[in-house]
Structure 1
Amino acid sequence: MSHLSKIKTSISNTKILQKTLDDYGFTYECNTPIDDSMEPIYKKDVTVKQDGKDIFIFKWNGSKYLLLADLEIWDLNIPCERLLEQITQQYSYNSIIEESIKYGFTRTSKEILQDGSLKLTLNRWNST
């Protein structure tokens, strides 16, 4: 019998989540109802697939996404927690880029540091 583990995230923007999943080459579907034994999962949910099978779900709880995964049958070559760390980092990067564009900034450089963190340089020119 499978059991879905629910992991809290800080992810709240569906568009940026989809961009992040695209960055990692994931295939996904939005608003696909499935049965979680107690309640159907749908609305702003994002179901991530591999080889036609659901591998994990980002479930909308009204303000943020929860990552739902059956860790007993997890079949990716990266631990779930590590994958979520990478997705969260890329999501944060995509959020910063989207917000900075709104205020007239452009990205001038992106450097991955030895500890795995990102160093991002943005520029904005004043017209005066």
Structure 2
Amino acid sequence: MDGHHTVEDAGLCLGQAIKKALGEKSGINRYGHAIIPMDDALVMVAVDLSGRGHLVFDAPMPATRIGDFDTELIEEFMRALAINGEFNLHVRLFYGKNTHHIIEAIFKALARSLKMAIARDGGEDIPSTKGTLEG
């Protein structure tokens, strides 16, 4: 299997696992965000566990490769993750020159955003005026 399909499938599997683990999403915050600095890079990630998969990726990579890794695959991973996890995912690079630092900041911000979004809010309600978070 080539790198593209390996990375895309990893995002797909992780997205499906997140969706399954969250169930109906009762009692969670639903929204999460993080701004993470990593040396020269500053990245923002925001998520909405809405039940609708969508990606906005505004993080151009200065280098097309890190070793044998095609840096365009970061966006493909994020797209597969968001679509299969059925959540909105926004990734924005404010600035940065080192591609490794940018990618590391993206993944750290993603982790912090998801941690915030899945945190319990103290209630048992589904965080939606519709009473459901299905797409």
Shorter chain as normaliser: what TM range? 0.3 to 0.5
Task: Say which one has the larger Rg.
Answer: 1
Structure that is richer in helix per residue: 2
Give me the TM-score of the superposition, normalised by structure 2: 0.32
Which structure would you say has the larger RCO, counting Cα contacts within 8 Å and 6 or more residues apart? 2
Give me the TM-score of the superposition, normalised by structure 1: 0.33
Structure that is richer in strand per residue: 1
